[in-house]
Structures are given as structure tokens and as C-alpha cells.
Structure 1
């Protein structure tokens, strides 16, 4: 049993070393959307991330969305929302 665990640990270490030395290319772009009645940042950002294939934590993307869109409080109808997207190719 101990040998199996050691082999598994070595395999995981080798995999992580490979991932670290061979990073996947990332495509970065911004999606522009306009807030409608009843929209929230969570709803807008989460929907765009799902549609575009962004796998990051939605809270992180909401944080950057607020910064680049200069959103200080609640969304208003007609607010332009810029959502930064990162997709691994």
C-alpha cells in the first residue's frame, strides 16, 4: 500500500512539474454588455463566463469587472459593464 501511495505522489509531482513548465496559452479579451432592469453583476458576469468558457472564480471576475467598469454601487439600467474574460486554448 505504501509503494502505491509513493508512486501516486510521484506521478502527481511529475504532472504538476509538466504543467508548470508547459503553460497553456490564454486568450484574454473584454466582453461589453449593457445592464437591463433587474440585472445584477453576479447574473451578468456569471452568464458571460459560462457562455465564453471562463473557468475562474466568478467573485474574482466580478472584482475586476467593478474596477474596469467603474461600478461603485448597484447597477443601473443602461450601465455599460466590461467583463474581462480568460479562456485557455
Structure 2
């Protein structure tokens, strides 16, 4: 039983090493969204990420969204929000 667990652990380590050294190609692009009544940055970014297949942490994407969209303060109706997306190529 101990040998089986060690072999399984080693296989997982090899798999992780392979994934790390052979990253999947990604598409990088920006999605333009206009804020509507009741929208929050968290929901706009989160929904867009989910729809586009971006698997990064939503907080990281919100940080860059604020930066490239030049957003300061609360989100207002009509604000143009630029959301940077990184999605795996299919």
C-alpha cells in the first residue's frame, strides 16, 4: 500500500512538472463592456471571465481592469469597462 501511494505521489509530481514546463497557449484580448444600472465591477468582470473561459483569480483581473479602464471610485452607468481576458486556445 505504501509503494502504491509513493508511486501515485511521484506520478502527480511528474504531471505537475510537465504542466509547468509546457504551458498551454492562450489568447489575450480585451472585452469592452458598458456599465448599466445596478452593475458592479465584480459582476461585470466575473461574468465576462466565465463566458470567455478565463480561469484567473477575479481580483487580479479587476485590478488590471481598473487600471486600463482608468476607473476611479464607484462604477457609474455608462462607464466603459475594458476587461483583459486570457483564455486557453481551443
| Fold in common (TM above 0.5) | yes
CA RMSD, 1 decimal = 0.9
Where structure 2 has 5 or more consecutive residues not aligned to the other structure, the ranges are: none
Q: How many residues align?
A: 89
Q: Secondary structure at 1:28's aligned position in 2?
A: strand
**In the alignment, which residue of structure 2 is the partner of 1:30?**
30
Normalised by the length of structure 1, the TM-score is 0.93
Aligned mates of 1:63, 1:77 — CA distance in 2: 20
Report the Cα offset of residue 59 of structure 1. 1.2
**In the alignment, which residue of structure 2 is the partner of 1:67?**
67
Normalised by the length of structure 2, the TM-score is 0.92
Where structure 1 has 5 or more consecutive residues not aligned to the other structure, the ranges are: none
